[in-house]
Structure 1
C-alpha cells in the first residue's frame, strides 16, 4: 500500500510539472478537462433572406384593335417570336371595302374642289369687268372652302380606313416567348380592350426580375445602416436547389411601405442567358445587408441559454470558468457571429462544456482551434432570431462578384 501511494504522488507531481512547462497553471485535483480556443476573427458580410418570384421584364397581352373573323394563326404555341412578326390575320374584306369607299369619297371631293376653284376664278375675272356682283364672288369663294374641307375629311377617312385595314394584321409588339393561342381560326372577336379578346400573351426573354417583399424592420435597418441601395448584390436559389448559384443586382425599391401589410416591395434584375428562368418561378434570395465588418465567431455548441440571455463560458488564467453574456449574429460557415460580449483573447470552451458544471468551477484547459465547417454560407443553418438570416466571409463575397 505504501508503494502504491508513493507511485500515485509521483504521477501527480509529474503532471503538475508538465503543465507548468507548457505555461498553464497546475490544474486542481479532479478538475475536468475541456477544450478551449480564442474566437475566430474574420471580416463578415451579412445576408438577409427573402422569398419571392420571378417576373418577366416585359409582359404583353396581345389583342386585336379591330374586330372580325380570325382568318389565320401564324405562330406555334410557346415559340419565341420577334417584334413585328405576324401572329394573326383577320378577314380584311370589310376593311378593304371601307378603304375603297373612302377613296371614292376623296375623288368626289377633289372634283368638287376643282369645280369650285374654276367658278371662283371665272367670277373674279368677270368682277373686274363688272359683269358679276361682289356677292357672287364671295359665294364662290365660300363654296371652294367648303369643297376643300370636304376633301380634307375624305382624306382623313382614307387614313382611318387604311389604319383599320392594317389592324387586320396582328403583329408581336415585343420580342419574347409567346403563350398558346387563345382564339382559333374561324372565331369572331370584338377587338379593343375586352378581356375575352386576348389572343395570346408574350413575355420578354433575356434578363428576369425577381420581386420580393421586405418588412418595415428590414427597411429601417437598411436606411439606418445606409448599406443597401441600387446595385446591391443579390444571390438566388430555386426551389429545388441547395446553393445560391444565381446572382443579380437590386435595381428597384418601392417609394412607400404598404400600410395594409407593412412591407416594402423590392426587385432585383437577374441574368437569364440560358433562358431557364420562367415568370412565376419561386425562389429564395439573399441580399447583402450592409458593408463588411470585423467579427468574432464561435461554434454554436459553445453557446449556452440562460433564459432570455445567451452566454459563453471562458476559462481564466487560473483555470476558473467565467460566464459572459453575448449578443449573437447570423451563422457563417457553421460558426456563430458574436456581435458583442467577447474579447479576441478570451479562451472560450468549445468542447466539454457539459463538464464545466457552473461559473467559478475549475477545469483543465486543453488548447483547440475554431475553424469553419460548412462549405459555403448557404450550407450553414439559418436562425430566425438573428438580425440577418445568414452571412459569409467578406473575401468570399468579393471573389464571387
Structure 2
C-alpha cells in the first residue's frame, strides 16, 4: 500500500466521523420546528337581531333663509334693529325716506278728483242728450260722442284709482319689515345711504334665518341608498320619502346621541361627482342650541337585521382591508376578509365574511407566530363589550 492510498483512506475515515458527530448532534438538540405551539384566546361570535344605526357627518341649515331687500328706492332714514337681534315677522327693520312717496299719494288723489269731475260732466252730457235725440233736436252721432267721452272719463277714473293704490303701496314699502321670524344678521347699509329697490340690482339690507325647527343635511352613499331601498322592498324599513325614520344627532363636544329628530326629505338625484344623494332631517331647536352651518354627526335608523358581532380588538387591518383570524377544526389559523358595520352594545357588527359558527382569535395576535397557516392551541375566552 502506497503513501497516497493510505492518505486517502484516512481522509475518508475523517469525513465519516464528522458526519456521525453531526447526526448525533442533530438527534440530541431540538430544532426550531419543534418549538412549542402558541396558545391563543378564541371566542365564538355573538349572533342576535339588532337595530342598525348608520352614522353620517353633516351640517345644520335654517328651514327658512331670507335676504331682506327694499321694494322701492330711496335714502335710508332709520334702522330699527340691532345687529344679530331676534325679530318677529312684521317687525320694522328699515325706514326709507317716505316724503317723495307721500307726495306721490297726494298727486294720485288729486288725479282721482279730476277724473271724478270728468265722469260727472260726462254723465250730465249724456243725460241731456238722450231726450234731445228722441225729439230730433240732437243727432245720434252727437249722443254717441257724448257716451264715448263718458266711457273715457270712467276709464281714466279707474286708472287714477289704480295709481293711488300703487302710490300707497310704495309708501307702505318705505318701511321694510321682517318677512319671517328668526335672527337677523348685521345691517349692510347705514342711515343716509341710497338703496335701490325693484326687481333687478336691488340693495341687500340684511338677512334673516329661522331658528326653530332646524334642518340637518347630510350625504348618503350609493351603497347605503341601495341597502335602504332593498329594506323598503322587503318591508323591513319605510322609505324616508314616505315614512318617519328616526335620527339622532351628536354635537362635536358631546359623547352621547342626545338630540332626536326625523327624516323629512331625500333628494331626487345623485351628485355625479361625489356619488352621493342628499338627505335631510328636521330637529326641534327651542333652546336655540343649533345654529346654521354647524357640523355634527347623525345616526339614521337603518332597520333591524340578524347580525354577527365581535369585539373590535379582534379586527386586523391590512392596508385598506379589514380581516379577522379564525381557527379551524385542525387548529390552523386562517385570515377571513370582512365588511364591518357600526358599534352596537360595545361590539363591532360584521356585515359580511363571518358566520356565528366560526371561531375567532381574540388574544395572541401580537405573537409573530400567529399568522395565516400557522398551527395554534385555541383556548376559549369570554366576550367583554368594548374588548
TM-score class normalised by the smaller sequence: 0.7 to 0.9
Instruction: For 1:31 and 1:143, locate their aligned partners in 2 and report how far apart those are by CA, in whole Å.
Output: 118
Deviations 1:154-176 (A, max 9, x none): 11111111111111111111111
TM-score (norm 1): 0.77
1:293 aligns with 305
- Provide closer, same or farther for how the CA distance between residues 214 and 77 of structure 1 changes in structure 2, counting only shifts above 3 A: same
Partner of 2:340: 329
Work out which of the residue numbers 252, 257, 262 in structure 1 matches 2:275: 262
What corresponds to 1:148 in structure 2? 154
| Residue deviations 1:228-286 (CA, integer Å, cap 9, x gap) | 52432222223333433322222111111223443322211122111011111122223
Residue equivalent to 1:280? 293
1:255 alignment partner, SS class: strand
Shift, 1:358, TM fit:
6.0
**Is structure 2 residue 326 aligned with structure 1 residue 320?**
no
Asked whether 1:185 is paired with 2:191, we answer yes
Which moves more between the two structures, 85-94 or 335-344?
335-344
Q: Determine helix, strand or coil for the equivalent of 1:291.
A: strand
Note the alpha carbon deviations across 1:184-207, whole angstroms, 9 max, x for none.
112111212455611111111211
- What's the secondary structure of 2:249's corresponding residue? strand
Q: Does 1:101 align with 2:104?
A: no
Alpha carbons 1:328, 1:336 under 8 Å: kept:
no
Task: Out of 103-112 and 49-58, give the one that drifted further.
Answer: 49-58
Q: In the aligned structure 1, how far is the partner of 2:202 from the partner of 2:127? A: 58
The 1:119/1:245 distance shift into structure 2, 3 A limit, reads same
1:2-401 equivalent positions in 2, closer than 5 A? 32-194=38-200, 197-226=203-232, 227=237, 228-230=239-241, 231-288=244-301, 290-303=302-315, 310-314=323-327, 316=329, 320-321=331-332, 323=334, 325=336, 327-332=338-343, 333-340=345-352, 342-353=354-365, 354=367, 359=373, 361=375, 363=377, 365=379, 367-373=380-386
Number of residue pairs aligned between Structure 1 and Structure 2: 342
SS at match of 2:168: helix
Q: 1:359: how far off?
A: 4.9
Q: Secondary structure at the match of 1:132?
A: coil
Q: What are structure 1's unaligned runs of at least 5 residues?
A: 1-28, 375-401
Check the 8 A contact 1:326/1:338 in 2, yes or no.
no
Cα gap change, 1:262 to 1:195, in 2 (>3 Å): farther
Alpha-carbon distance in structure 1 between the residues aligned to 2:318 and 2:63? 50
CA distance 1:101–1:358, shift in 2 (3 Å): closer
